[in-house]
Structure 1
């Protein structure tokens, strides 16, 4: 169910028959997944279906045991331009137990562009812009440990955005987040898509992000079982095979409810 990019530009993400294991147990059993530049793709499915493992294979934190991975047309093992990717892990404390201010946490998102170079004025401007985008600029000097869960999630998103990534990957960014923060996330993602970024999300439900989703990919037992526009998105009309489409959207809706 691999969908090709819309033009000759290399896909931001391409997995071909990707297989992976964790703790010696097979988790992915042959995933095909493509995310084109400017495309928003949501990974859906029940707990244990392989959603988080899929994105961990994309960023290389879980190695493939079979299949292929490409980032921006470069084989995964040769990819080095990590500043092109912003990653928001599953919700944790943004400070990781280390005393840090909001600004300090977000500034670490610029490190991939520096190696050993000192921060410059444009880095400080980028940090302020990322904080403003998620509504946290006024809390820049506060300790991250003093923030609510939703505010900490905004900080992690700002850290991912600060390098103006071409690919934004988020693992359950809506989990346990208040409605106000969910709407901030939706508005922020809309701005990223408008500038041409690709987005890959793990979600349990689309919620306020529904209008932004181009494709919903439903996983089950480490395999892709459906891949297409989410039901009611307006993208699904004009295709042949109405019965298949109805079955497809039923599957996607079931994926959102698990």
Structure 2
């Protein structure tokens, strides 16, 4: 398989447990510089755990993770990494403006937490990229779900990261915001940003995806071209019986590409 450059993310035999239960079962995954890789799979397949393991929120029970060629346990240059968690209230219930939330993502690039003109320009640019510049002074508590997500993405972009990791960025987001976010991500990819993202469906991001890695029960089921139709029933290895099928029908195993 052709790759874009040196590995930015590398997982080798990674196992992770949650609540004493194995969630990742020895997965291998490489994301090379400039690639856009989508993690797909049914709920509970380990997609979000894989993301959280990469950034250090979930401990590794076995195996090795490297970021930019450095073992993750020794990696310190987190300003190179932008992270967008699953959609939550951007301020976590704390009163804050859109600008304040986005500015918090710039702290890793500042000297002693002091903002200069370059930092303020970066905040304004990030807000413009996600179409939220006109809401800069508004409270995040006044935003819609899609607008919250745009703010979280602006917070990740404001440090101008080389690697962008996103966990379900399109979940629960209206179509208008999906299109804005797809355009924003396209700009980042064209600028050379490496992207790893968890998706339920490819949707408007499909043209940007280089590879799909499909997880099932904490294992890599597929690593290669994205399935053409992606949804719960289109994922490789999905077994199901349609409700209109005759009683006693055998499960239908969906092929790799539908």
TM-score, normalization: structure 1?
A: 0.87
Q: Alpha-carbon deviation of 1:63?
A: 1.1
Aligned residue in 1 for 2:182: 186
Q: Alpha-carbon deviation of 1:229?
A: 1.2
Aligned residue in 2 for 1:240: none
Aligned residue in 2 for 1:224: 220
Identify the structure with the greater helix proportion: 1
Q: Alpha-carbon deviation of 1:151?
A: 0.3
Q: Alpha-carbon deviation of 1:23?
A: 1.2
Q: Alpha-carbon deviation of 1:111?
A: 1.1
1:172 aligns to 2:184 (yes or no) = no
Aligned residue in 2 for 1:118: 114
**1:142-173 alpha-carbon deviations (Å, 9 max, x no partner):** 00000000000000000000011000011001
Q: Alpha-carbon deviation of 1:232?
A: 4.3
Q: Alpha-carbon deviation of 1:5?
A: 4.3
C-alpha separation in 1, matches of 2:90 and 2:191: 26
1:96 aligns to 2:101 (yes or no) = no
C-alpha separation in 1, matches of 2:110 and 2:126: 18
1:251 counterpart (242, 250, 256): 256
Instruction: Check conservation: 1:216, 1:252, Cα contact below 8 A.
Output: no
Which of 1 and 2 has greater Rg? 2
1:81 counterpart (58, 73, 77): 77
Aligned residues: 234
Q: Alpha-carbon deviation of 1:6?
A: 3.4
**1:195-254 alpha-carbon deviations (Å, 9 max, x no partner):** 111000100000000000000110000000001011349xxxxxxxxxxxxxxx93365x
1:213 aligns to 2:242 (yes or no) = no
1:21 aligns to 2:23 (yes or no) = no
1:140 aligns to 2:136 (yes or no) = yes
Instruction: Check conservation: 1:50, 1:219, Cα contact below 8 A.
Output: yes
Q: Which runs of 5+ in 1 are unaligned?
A: 234-248, 254-258
C-alpha separation in 2, matches of 1:5 and 1:26: 30
2:30 counterpart (23, 28, 34): 34
C-alpha separation in 2, matches of 1:75 and 1:252: 35
* Bigger Cα displacement from structure 2, 112-121 vs 159-168: 112-121
C-alpha separation in 2, matches of 1:217 and 1:161: 24
C-alpha separation in 1, matches of 2:51 and 2:174: 24
Assess, with a 3 A threshold, how the Cα gap between structure 1 residues 232 and 27 changes in structure 2: closer, same or farther.
closer
Instruction: Check conservation: 2:110, 2:119, Cα contact below 8 A.
Output: no
1:194-213 equivalence runs, <5 A: 194-213=190-209
**1:10-30 alpha-carbon deviations (Å, 9 max, x no partner):** x11000011001111110001
